Amino acid sequence: MNAHNAALGGTPQRLKRGIPLALRGVARRFGEREVLKDIDLLVPAGQFVAIVGRSGCGKSTLLRLLAGLDQPSRGELLAGSAALAEAREDTRLMFQDSRLLPWKRVIDNVGLGLRGDWRAKARQALRAVGLAERANEWPAALSGGQKQRVALARALIHEPRLLLLDEPLGALDALTRIEMQQLIEGLWREHGFTVLLVTHDVSEAVAVADRVILIEDGEIGLDLPVELPRPRSRGSARLAALEAEVLNRVLAQPELPPQPEPVSPLPTQLRWAL
């Protein structure tokens, strides 16, 4: 079994360490409004970070900058000591919408954009997310949670070192959401990639992350380590106390106006879970 196969379908291995991130004085302005204000942030390799905050606070803008879908007005984005742009091949992004192509079968969506003999790898990626038996079905036959599993498999096949998650579970029902949280956490523990998860769900953030960052009006208002053993008991008093601490801080902030939509690259230029 080669290294890639072992990573997806065999004995759990941490084959690649995640990418360490450094943001230095990162800001993003849209016209007169500064959505992000001189963000300084260090994320060690392999850390799972959840980013929370009210709508319009700048958290999704931050993720877009990390994904290369937008550019900062000032500041630096680094992967270790190199520019983050040099790590684009190791970065994958998942959205709330699975973005599957309805005219392609599940396995072809997983292998989208790949060349050569990729089908065995695609099947292993589907096996890793529990959908090996659905490889030849059409996306229309899948539930919302299953579609997100396919999107996750589409990211895994590339062995990402940085996985960016923009509310990928936001549209799922409660039970499916918990199952997906556990799946993502398990894959992260197995492969060791760095994860940044943007979410409105504070309970989700404290359940899966090593660290919860609260964005308030474009600035880091809270940087809270979650020093609890895994797997975490969702009914525990310690988890509830952390959730309450974050929620109390979030609810103390006023609702912000929506952010303007930035001009994005064409879809063919994006590396969304692809």
For residue 9, say whether it is annotated as part of any ligand binding site: no
For residue 73, say whether it is annotated as part of any ligand binding site: no
For residue 46, say whether it is annotated as part of any ligand binding site: no
Helix H, strand E, coil C: the string for 122-190 is HHHHHHHCCCHHHCCCCHHHCCHHHHHHHHHHHHHCCCCCEEEEECCCCCCCHHHHHHHHHHHHHHHHH
CA 72 – CA 77 distance, rounded (Å):
9
* Of 252, 197, 242, the residue nearest 221 (C-alpha): 252
Contact 28, 35 (CB under 8 A): yes
For residue 58, say whether it is annotated as part of any ligand binding site: yes
For residue 121, say whether it is annotated as part of any ligand binding site: no
For residue 75, say whether it is annotated as part of any ligand binding site: no
Report DSSP state, residue 272: B
For residue 57, say whether it is annotated as part of any ligand binding site: yes
* Of 29, 42, 53, the residue nearest 216 (C-alpha): 53
For residue 56, say whether it is annotated as part of any ligand binding site: yes
CA 55 – CA 58 distance, rounded (Å):
8
**Binding site membership: which residues?**
53-60
**Binding site membership for ATP: which residues?**
53-60
